Amino acid sequence: MANVDESGAQKPNMTKAEATEAKVGDEKNKYKLKKLIDELGKMRGRHTELVSVYIPAGYSITDVIGQLKDEQGTSSNIKSKATRKNVTDALEKIIQYLKKYDRTPPNGLVIFAGNISEDEGKPKIELFPYTDLVEPIKTKLYWCDQTFVLEPLKAMVVEHDVYALIVMDAREASIGLLSGKSIKTLKNLDSTVPSKTVKGGMSQGRYDRLREDAINEFLNEIGDTANELLLKHELKGLIIGGPGPVKEKLAKGKYLNYMIANKLLGVKDTGYTGEFGLRELVERSEDLLVDSMVARERAIVTKFLTALEKNGNVTYGINEVKQALDSGAVDTLLISEGFDWVRVKLNCQCGNEETKDMKRSVFHAKKEQKCDKCGGWMKPCEEEMNLMDALIEKAEKMGAKVEMISTETPEGGQFKELGGVAAMLRYKIG
C-alpha cells in the first residue's frame, strides 16, 4: 500500500522517519479495519434488516441522503411490522449521521446499521460508520440483508506483494506498480531523443553521438524518477520491459539505485510502452512472478532452517511460538498454509472454563475434553475459531511481520512437517 498519494500530492522530500511513521499509521489503520470487519462479520440479523452503505469519494452526500430517504419509502412494503420498523430506523440513523458531513471524506465513507439485539422484543439499532479508509472506496452500494456486506473492505486489508514495473524505449517510459492484480501507473516520461535518421548537414558519426548522449540523459532521468518513486515501497521484485534494445541499458547500467536494481527479476520484450505496455509486461511476466514467489519462500524457509541448525534466534512449535508472541520477541511469524488448528472455548458444569488450542482433526474427533477440576466433561461453549487467524492478529498487534508458507514447494512441505508454525526472533528467549 502506498503511504503517500502518488497522483499529485507527492512528498518527494519525505524523510525516512516520516515515511516510517506514515507506514505505521497505515498499519494501525489496517488493524482497526480488520477488527471492525471481524466484529461486523459476526453479526446476524433476525431478518433481512442489516443495512450496508458504501459511498465512494466524490459522491454528493445530499444525493445519497435523498436515495436513502427513497429506500425508507420503499421499505414500507416490508410485510413484517418489526422488520419494517428496524430497517426504517436503521436508515434514519444513517441519514442523521450523514447530515454531519457537508462533503464525502477523501477516500469515501462506509456505514453499517441494523438491529443487532438478541432479544426479538427489544430491538437495538446500532450504527457503525467507518471513515478512516486508507484507500479510496470504489464500490457504490446500498444493501439490506441478514449480514453486512464486507467484501469490499476485506479486499482492502489483504496484503499483496508489490512489484515495480518499468516499460521504456528511446521515446518514452512508464513506471508503475503491480500489487495483487492491480497495476498502477506512477509516472509517464517523454524523452527528447531524436529519431534514428540523420537530418540535414550533420555527419552520421556526430549525429549518433548526440543521440547516444540524449539516450543516456533519458536513462538518468528514468533512474532518478524510479528511485524517488520506488524506494519507499517494499518491493518483492522489479521487471523491465519495452520494445527495442534501450531497456537493456537500464537493466545493466547504473541508473537505478542498487536496492531497486538488486530486485530485478527479468527483462521482457513488449510491443508497447505506456500504460498499455505496463499491462502487457505483466501478462508476459507470469513465469517471473511465479518463480519469484517460489524463490522467496525457499529463501525464508532456508533462512529459518539454517538458523535452527545453528541454534540461532528462532523457535518453532505452537507453544513456543505463542510464548514468543506473548513476550513480544517475534520479528517474523512463519505460518504454513497447511496449519489447521482451532482455538476452542470450553466450560464445565462445575464452573471451570478453559480455552484450548488443538488440531482441527483432533477437535472434530472428540469435542468433549476432561475437566481438570472435577474430572467431568467440558463442552465447547462458543464456535471454535481458526487459530491461524488468532496468531496472525496477535503478531500484527505486536508489530511482527507475517510470512505465509505454501505447502507446494519441498521447503514448504518440510516446514509443514515441523508443525507449520515458527518464528524468527528479535532476541533470544530462555
- Piece in contact with Zn ion (CB under 5 A), picked from 94-102, 166-174, 205-213, 352-360: 352-360
- Piece in contact with Zn ion (CB under 5 A), picked from 153-161, 258-266, 343-351, 386-394: 343-351
Rounded least distance, CB 30 to Zn ion, Å: 41
- Given the complex with Zn ion, which of 94 and 371 has the nearer CB atom? 371
405, β-bridge pairs:
336
Rounded least distance, CB 347 to Zn ion, Å: 8
Rounded least distance, CB 344 to Zn ion, Å: 16
- Given the complex with Zn ion, which of 201 and 351 has the nearer CB atom? 351
Rounded least distance, CB 353 to Zn ion, Å: 9
Does residue 369 interact with Zn ion by CB under 5 A? Answer: no
Separation between Cα atoms, residue 111 and residue 128, nearest integer Å: 6
Residue 36 CA, chain-centre distance (Å), reads: 16
- Piece in contact with Zn ion (CB under 5 A), picked from 273-281, 285-293, 347-355, 420-428: 347-355
Which amino acid is located at 397 in the chain?
A: K
User: What Cα–Cα distance (Å) separates residue 180 from each residue in 36, 158, 242, 243, 313?
Assistant: 23, 9, 22, 25, 32
Instruction: Say if residues 297 and 411 touch (Cβ distance below 8 Å).
Output: yes
Separation between Cα atoms, residue 9 and residue 29, nearest integer Å: 20
Rounded least distance, CB 350 to Zn ion, Å: 3
Does residue 374 interact with Zn ion by CB under 5 A? Answer: yes
- Given the complex with Zn ion, which of 39 and 372 has the nearer CB atom? 372
Residues 6+ apart with CB under 8 A from 168: 174, 222, 240, 242, 246, 247, 250, 273
Output DSSP code: residue 12. T
Candidates 73, 245, 376, 399; binder of Zn ion (CB under 5 A) is 376
Rounded least distance, CB 367 to Zn ion, Å: 16
Does residue 346 interact with Zn ion by CB under 5 A? Answer: no
Rounded least distance, CB 345 to Zn ion, Å: 14
- Piece in contact with Zn ion (CB under 5 A), picked from 128-136, 137-145, 277-285, 373-381: 373-381
Q: How buried is residue 240: exposed, middle or buried, by Cβ count under 10 Å (0-12/13-18/19+)?
A: buried
Tell me the backbone φ, ψ of residue 415, rounded to 5 degrees.
-65, -40
- Piece in contact with Zn ion (CB under 5 A), picked from 90-98, 193-201, 228-236, 345-353: 345-353
Residues 6+ apart with CB under 8 A from 368: 377, 378, 379
Q: What one-character-per-residue DSSP string does 348-391 give?
A: -TTS-EEEEEEEHHHHHH---EE-TTTSSEEEE-S--EEHHHHH
- Piece in contact with Zn ion (CB under 5 A), picked from 143-151, 211-219, 221-229, 376-384: 376-384
Separation between Cα atoms, residue 238 and residue 250, nearest integer Å: 12
- Given the complex with Zn ion, which of 35 and 373 has the nearer CB atom? 373
Candidates 348, 405, 423, 424; binder of Zn ion (CB under 5 A) is 348
Locate cell 449521521: which residue?
97
Long-range contacts of 64-68 (CB under 8 A, 24+ apart): 64/98, 65/95, 65/98, 65/99, 67/142, 68/94, 68/95, 68/98, 68/142
Nearest one of 288, 294, 306 to 413, comparing CA atoms: 294
- Given the complex with Zn ion, which of 327 and 352 has the nearer CB atom? 352
Does residue 362 interact with Zn ion by CB under 5 A? Answer: no
Instruction: Say if residues 277 and 242 touch (Cβ distance below 8 Å).
Output: yes
Candidates 138, 252, 364, 373; binder of Zn ion (CB under 5 A) is 373
Candidates 178, 222, 371, 423; binder of Zn ion (CB under 5 A) is 371
Does residue 350 interact with Zn ion by CB under 5 A? Answer: yes
Rounded least distance, CB 362 to Zn ion, Å: 20
Rounded least distance, CB 364 to Zn ion, Å: 22
C-alpha cell at 55: 459511498
Does residue 64 interact with Zn ion by CB under 5 A? Answer: no
C-alpha cell at 152: 469490499
Tell me the site size for Zn ion, rule CB under 5 A.
7
- Piece in contact with Zn ion (CB under 5 A), picked from 41-49, 82-90, 220-228, 344-352: 344-352
Sites of contact with Zn ion (CB under 5 A):
348, 350, 352, 371, 373-374, 376
